[in-house]
A and B are shown apart, each in its own frame.
Chain A
Amino acid sequence: MKVFIYPTNSLILSDLVERFGHEPLALMQEIGKKVRAQGLDSPPLNITPEDPKIGLKYAAVEVPSGVRGRMSLFGPLIQSAEAAIIIRDPVIPFGCMGCARTNELVNFLIRAKKIPLLELDYPSTEDEAKEFVYKISEFLKSLTEKKNEQH
């Protein structure tokens, strides 16, 4: 299944999703496309003033351009998501999207989509961390079962 992750650039989450046989929907792949695409309009991210306009699908012009520019990358991922994992209040090294307003909108759009969703607090102790990984793996396994049932 296509699993949207939040924070969207979390390598740990992306890796976990992949290990359980699902496709992570992560920011890295979208940025990668921008960087690898022919023509370097605005290096290093290669985001041009056209991108915040694509973001108008998700937020009106009164919303800051940085939010809309980010949404032009995250929006299509959210649209194609079949399941999602949201980590609440993660530390910056776990994954960081820079802008709190974008985070609020991304989390809302995922919740509003009514797809299988796991929401967890970021762990602060070793025991919590073990529980954290366990819950994510159980969730990903349940997605596999759901997928198999569908087939």
Chain B
Amino acid sequence: MSNTENPVRIAQLSCGAEYSGIQKEIDSAVEQVNAVMVYPEIDILDIEAIEEDFGLKVASPDLKLMMARAKAIVTGKVHVDAVFVATCFRCAEAALVRSEVRRYIHEKTGIPVISYSFTERTTAGTLLTRMEALTTTARRKSLLAREKQSGLTAGIDSGSTTTKAVIMRDNEIIGKGWVPTVKVLDSAEEAYNDALKEAGIKREEVQALGTTGYGRFLVGEHFKADLIQEEITVNSKGAVYLADMQKGVATVLDIGGMDNKAISVLDGIPGMFTMGGICAGASGRFLEMTAKRLGVSITELGALAIKGRAQNIKMNSYCIVFGIQSLVNSLAAGGNPEDVAAAACHSVAEQLFEQQLQEVDVKEPVIMVGGTSLIEGLPRAVEELLKVKVIVPDNAQYIGAVGAALLVSGFISR
């Protein structure tokens, strides 16, 4: 983050952070993104009146303080560029307040808000991507308001497993490239060249290029990208754009090859999210291994799963080692491949629920993106588990690249 820009003023509205011993971690993450944390001053009378004003009665005084501070921001008593709402993980009362405070500030002011539930194990590293997304939203508000792609732009998503590239012209995808990530730069070159070839244009014709994903900095530097952006912001925007649901709430689920994201989105801007490869049993790798064991390609696994019944297979574990062992045992006992494929999808969905969705509200529409969303059995298993309809937009596997190409089109006129 460039230090020539003015620091972003972030208001911290939290309950329990200081007693969890993580205030130092919050301060450290904020410092790294050239921001400063501020704590809105309020009067004691404001706290006493806040439950009536806000309409939410709670027992914890620190949560009343959070609501009063939110009101101070909304009424303009305090001027901030962004808001960080954080409470203890597993506190139900705080989760309700956190969600409502976030909605309240967003609806009344449009100031970017991000929310998080922490434990004593929360580190500055965990918070950094969140703070990066928050400060980006604050600094590039006009860019994120963009709902249509314009001009001729490119997006490259350098993921941990695959590298994706797209070329877009006047709000349409005209070229795509999707290759496994081997060497980060070589794979990016290959995917980009494939996309350019399909689009039938030369590299120098591209007016602006954006990068995202794990390799975004390396690839961005190599291609002299106009925009290098973390994947939470880009994927949120890309998902609601592809699903044509840019206004209102949405939940974006991205099960990657090695890494998952569950993002609660409001008007295309990320609020609460979980990310990270906590467990391989909740990743695309689990499905890859199942496909390999069944002797089918990963692209065939989904169709197979649709024909099967997960309930016919007994799985003792969600673990990528022991869970796969259960599937192998089922095959050895005469289980049919369709049921095994369905059970694998069901297992990944269950683990997604256990590991990623604990902190994220599942508000419809639920949009599934990333390569695994094309394995039909997986969105169906998620639908069954969450009791919601899951939307898989066209080109869902190019989510990051499309989001980057869309956002970077805002740089053309500059």
List of A residues within 8 angstroms of B21 by Cβ: 42, 47-52, 65, 69
Tell me which of A41, A44, A69, A101 contacts B60 (CB under 8 A). Answer: A101
List of B residues within 8 angstroms of A49 by Cβ: 20-22, 120-121
A-contacting residues, B1-39, CB 8 Å: 15-24
Query: Could you mark each residue 198-209 of chain B with 1 if its beta carbon is under 8 Å from any beta carbon of chain A, else 0?
Result: 000000000000
The answer to whether the Cβ of B84 comes within 8 Å of any Cβ in the partner chain is: no
Tell me which of B18, B24, B48, B91 contacts A101 (CB under 8 A). Answer: B91
List of A residues within 8 angstroms of B91 by Cβ: 64, 66-67, 101
B325 to chain A minimum Cβ distance, whole angstroms, is 29
Interface residue count for B (Cβ, 8 Å)?
31
Known contacts being A65-B16, A66-B20, is A98 close to B121, with CB within 8 Å?
Answer: no
In the complex, A105→B35 CA distance in Å? 37
In the complex, A68→B119 CA distance in Å? 10
List of A residues within 8 angstroms of B89 by Cβ: 64-65
In the complex, A50→B22 CA distance in Å? 10
In the complex, A100→B20 CA distance in Å? 16
List of A residues within 8 angstroms of B94 by Cβ: 64
List of A residues within 8 angstroms of B87 by Cβ: 66
In the complex, A16→B89 CA distance in Å? 37
Contact indicator A65/B62 (Cβ below 8 Å): no
The answer to whether the Cβ of B332 comes within 8 Å of any Cβ in the partner chain is: no
The answer to whether the Cβ of A28 comes within 8 Å of any Cβ in the partner chain is: no
In the complex, A143→B149 CA distance in Å? 77
List of B residues within 8 angstroms of A67 by Cβ: 16, 88, 91
Contact indicator B61/A65 (Cβ below 8 Å): no
B-contacting residues, A61-98, CB 8 Å: 62-70, 91-93, 96-98
Contact indicator B47/A92 (Cβ below 8 Å): yes
List of A residues within 8 angstroms of B61 by Cβ: 92, 96-100
A4 to chain B minimum Cβ distance, whole angstroms, is 19
In the complex, A41→B120 CA distance in Å? 14
Contact indicator A64/B88 (Cβ below 8 Å): yes
In the complex, A50→B93 CA distance in Å? 25
A to B contact number (C-beta, < 8 Å): 101
A142 to chain B minimum Cβ distance, whole angstroms, is 31
The answer to whether the Cβ of B118 comes within 8 Å of any Cβ in the partner chain is: yes
Count chain A CB atoms within 10 A of each CB in B47, B88, B120, B121 and give the residue with the most.
Answer: B120
Contact indicator A64/B60 (Cβ below 8 Å): no
Count chain B CB atoms within 10 A of each CB in A65, A68, A69, A91 and give the residue with the most.
Answer: A65
B-contacting residues, A117-148, CB 8 Å: none
The answer to whether the Cβ of A53 comes within 8 Å of any Cβ in the partner chain is: yes
List of A residues within 8 angstroms of B48 by Cβ: 91-92
The answer to whether the Cβ of A45 comes within 8 Å of any Cβ in the partner chain is: yes
A1 to chain B minimum Cβ distance, whole angstroms, is 28
A-contacting residues, B75-95, CB 8 Å: 87-91, 93-94
In the complex, A107→B349 CA distance in Å? 42
Known contacts being A41-B24, A98-B61, is A65 close to B119, with CB within 8 Å?
Answer: yes
The answer to whether the Cβ of B59 comes within 8 Å of any Cβ in the partner chain is: yes
The answer to whether the Cβ of B333 comes within 8 Å of any Cβ in the partner chain is: no
Contact indicator A66/B19 (Cβ below 8 Å): yes
Known contacts being A47-B19, A66-B88, is A98 close to B24, with CB within 8 Å?
Answer: no
Tell me which of B16, B47, B59, B121 contacts A66 (CB under 8 A). Answer: B16
Count chain B CB atoms within 10 A of each CB in A41, A43, A69, A93 and give the residue with the most.
Answer: A69
B13 to chain A minimum Cβ distance, whole angstroms, is 14
In the complex, A69→B20 CA distance in Å? 5
B-contacting residues, A16-51, CB 8 Å: 41-45, 47-51
In the complex, A92→B63 CA distance in Å? 12
In the complex, A44→B27 CA distance in Å? 12
In the complex, A50→B121 CA distance in Å? 10
Contact indicator B93/A65 (Cβ below 8 Å): no
List of A residues within 8 angstroms of B47 by Cβ: 92
Contact indicator A100/B93 (Cβ below 8 Å): yes
Tell me which of B15, B18, B44, B59 contacts A93 (CB under 8 A). Answer: B44
Known contacts being A48-B21, A98-B61, is A65 close to B15, with CB within 8 Å?
Answer: no
Chain A residues at the B interface, C-beta cutoff of 8 Å: 41-45, 47-53, 62-70, 91-93, 96-101, 103
- Cβ contacts A to B, 5 pairs, < 8 Å: A42-B18, A42-B23, A52-B119, A52-B120, A66-B17
Going nearest first, the 4 A-B pairs with the smallest beta carbon separation are A66-B16, A64-B88, A100-B59, A69-B19
